[in-house]
Amino acid sequence: MAEYEDKLLDHDYDGIHELDNNLPRWWLYLFYFTIVWGVVYMLYYHVFDIGYSQVDQYRQEMDPNYVRVGSAEHRFLGVLPEYHSPYYSVRPEVTPARLLAMSGRPARPVMMTAATDTITYVRLTDEPDLKAGNEIFVKNCAQCHGDQGQGGIGPNLTDKYWIHGTDYGTIVRSVKYGYPAKGMIPWLGTLSEEQAMKVASFVYTLRGTNPPNPKPPQGDLIAE
Q: Write down the H helix ranges in the chain.
A: 2-5, 25-42, 54-62, 96-102, 127-140, 142-145, 168-177, 193-204
Cα 126 to Cα 148: distance, rounded to the nearest angstrom: 20
Backbone phi and psi for residue 163, each to the nearest 5 degrees, phi listed first: -80, -40
Cα 90 to Cα 53: distance, rounded to the nearest angstrom: 15
- In this predicted structure, the answer to whether residue 109 has a pLDDT above a threshold of 90 is no
* Average pLDDT of the residues in 49-60: 80
> What's the pLDDT band for 72 if we cut at 50, 70, 90?
very low
- In this predicted structure, the answer to whether residue 108 has a pLDDT above a threshold of 60 is no
Residue 182, Cβ neighbours under 10 Å: how many? 10
Claim: this prediction has a pTM higher than 0.85: no
Mean pLDDT value across the chain: 79
Percentage of the chain beyond pLDDT 70 is 75
* Average pLDDT of the residues in 99-117: 60
Total residue count of the chain as it appears in this document? 224
Cα 11 to Cα 211: distance, rounded to the nearest angstrom: 104
